Structure 1
């Protein structure tokens, strides 16, 4: 009677192992497929050149910190405008620069605009194409041969 019980035992364990390995391979293929859909954006394309130029940015940051009051960058959600206002020390001075809009999640949305404030040190920049999310607004400007840099994070 023992011999009959041994021959009629459940022999489905090989199918269980085969199913386990099949699901494991399918999970690996699924993970590979979904990871191939993710595009890893670089923050900057030329890291080496950026690192060499960064000392100038550090000097510009220090020049901005030495000001009595920082610049103001405000986003108007109703008008889709960005107000940039420099401190009073820049009124009636020749100022020029660049506003760089940096989107950390998608480098394809990055763009720049020239910064040329009026005699009161203000500039209103129309930006209707700004997508909702996190943006870094980087303001580089020059006045009287001195460079300045200011950065503000906006969440729209």
Structure 2
């Protein structure tokens, strides 16, 4: 059987397409490849985005802003002194971009003006922290990334 140029080109295209399809199928079925969105409920979070923007503006407009600092015992979050600690309710969410199994939420229930996140919960690496709190019917939000 004699191969001409047309047959060779068709075989080359068919081989290339087969090669690409093999890798597409292999990567789609491979459990080691993580194809998740950044968060599980991404589209639901998108709907409340404007409320988050307003809450961040309110947090930045405070005369005494929320302070986050690293101490020997962990991350210390200091709430504004002008706010009564008993009236502050909310949560602190810590998100680890490299491993979703390390993510956790920490409820805010204060007796004094600060909240300590223990050092044993935070592994070395990058963390994204979201502090969402409510005080006298107003919501406030602080987003911060840090290396621990």
CA distance in 1, matches of 2:131, 2:40: 20
CA distance in 2, matches of 1:143, 1:64: 11
- 1:86-105 to structure 2, matched below 5 A, reads 86-91=79-84, 94-105=87-98
TM-score norm. by structure 2 comes to 0.73
8 Å Cα contact 1:99-1:137 kept in structure 2 = yes
TM-score norm. by structure 1 comes to 0.69
2:14 maps to none
Unaligned runs of 5+ residues in structure 2 are 1-18
Q: Residue deviations 1:102-153, cap 9 Å, x none?
A: 111121211101012224x212222413221100111000000100001121
Question: Which one of 86, 103, 108 corresponds to residue 110 of structure 1?
Answer: 103
8 Å Cα contact 1:41-1:106 kept in structure 2 = no
8 Å Cα contact 2:85-2:110 kept in structure 1 = no
Higher-Rg structure is 1
Q: Does 1:69 align with 2:64?
A: yes
Unaligned runs of 5+ residues in structure 1 are 1-24
8 Å Cα contact 2:56-2:141 kept in structure 1 = yes
- Match of 1:58, SS state, is helix
Question: Which one of 125, 134, 143 corresponds to residue 133 of structure 1?
Answer: 125
* Aligned-residue RMSD, C-alpha: 2.3
Residues 90 and 113 of structure 1: CA distance in aligned 2, closer, same or farther (over 3 Å): same
Q: Does 1:52 align with 2:47?
A: yes
4+ runs deviating over 4 angstroms: none
8 Å Cα contact 1:93-1:143 kept in structure 2 = no
Q: Residue deviations 1:14-59, cap 9 Å, x none?
A: xxxxxxxxxxx8xx87xx57x9423234212122211111121111
Q: CA deviation at 1:92?
A: 5.0
